[in-house]
Amino acid sequence: MPFALGALVVAAQGWPGLRLLGLIVLAMVFARTAAMSFNRLVDWGFDVRNPRTADRHKLLPRWAGMVLLVVSSAAFVGSTWWINPLCFRLSPVALGIVFFYSLTKRFTSLSHFFLGLALSVAPVGAWIAVTGSFAFAPLVLALAVVLWVAGFDLIYATQDYEFDRASGLHSMVVRIGIERSLRLAQVLHVLMLGGLVGFGCAAQLGWFYFVGLVPVAAALVYEHRCASRLDLAGINRAFFVSNAFVGVVFVVATWSDRLVR
């Protein structure tokens, strides 16, 4: 959501209007609901055996998950029809990308990058919603999102190292180990910062935006310090607190640049 909202005001060169903002938020909520419902359904057998996720399925029966998947998918496609023709035509592609991630741990250790790809659809979709066309700047932002998500998902996946290895699931953590995965996450987040700088240059953003990257970098440093402790509390702080902060700062930086200056 934060990167979509940032791309939205940059593409609009200012306030995009309540109608378009509301439609994009609705589309993203429906897409996320559909993606999470699909993930719960296809990973049901794994999740009920994983101590970290076993309680999730007590909250929602499988039949209810199927209904939620169908309804949210249809609502997502329907909401894009009200945005513009290109968004509507690409909506099944977007759903296919976000659904495909849930299958990747079965055959590739690059699943973290596929999760990043799924989330990177958001800023590109928001840009298309405004302009009705593709552009270079949102693709650069999408790359930054891929790197950001892959990095923090590597950190989060350290919790499931033993379970994934015993279950035959693929992840970079299983392939190269926890310590190397954490170092790789650091590299990805450094590259992500470079991608955010590249987006600012490609979109011709001003100093409001670039100053905002300083606290983003600080939050990433905090994230990796918390993750290095390899305790559940530290990983949750790294995953939830730091990433939420990064998203909020990105929105503030992009909106300030386009709406304040």
Q: Decide if 261 contacts 206 (C-beta within 8 A).
A: yes
pLDDT, residue 54, reads 62
Whether residue 230 is predicted with pLDDT greater than 70 in this model: the reply is: no
Give the tens place of pLDDT for each residue, 8-25.
Answer: 999 998 888 899 999 999
The DSSP secondary-structure symbol of 53 reads T
Query: Which amino acid, 187?
Result: V
Q: What is the mean pLDDT of the chain?
A: 89
* pLDDT surpassing 70 at residue 233: no
Q: What is the pLDDT of residue 185?
A: 93
- CB neighbourhood size of 79 (10 A): 22
With a pLDDT cut of 70, the percent of the chain lying above it is 92
CATH of the domain at 36: 1.10.357.140
Could you give the residue ranges of the DSSP H alpha helices within the chain? 2-12, 18-42, 44-47, 62-81, 85-104, 111-131, 136-157, 161-167, 172-176, 178-202, 207-227, 232-236, 243-259
Reported as a single tens digit per residue, the pLDDT across 132-143 is 998 999 999 999
* pLDDT confidence tier of residue 121, bands split at 50, 70 and 90: very high
Instruction: List the one residue out of 97, 62, 94, 58 whose CA is nearest residue 76.
Output: 94
Range of the domain at 12: 2-259
Number of domains within the chain: 1
In this structure, what token pair is assigned to residue 27?
């589309």
Looking at residue 125, its amino acid is G
Distance CA 208, CA 217 (A): 15
Q: What is the mean pLDDT of residues 53-59?
A: 63
Please tell me the predicted confidence (pLDDT) of residue 237: 66
pLDDT in tens, 154-192: 988 888 888 888 878 888 888 899 889 999 999 999 999
**The pTM of the whole model exceeds 0.85:** yes
* 136 Cβ contact partners less than 8 Å away, ≥ 6 residues apart: 202
Average pLDDT estimate for 182-203: 95
Q: Work out the percent of the chain whose per-residue pLDDT is above 90.
A: 60
Average pLDDT over residues 49-53: 70
Are 157 and 164 spatial neighbours (Cβ–Cβ below 8 Å)?
Answer: yes
pLDDT band at 58 (very low <50, low <70, confident <90, very high): low
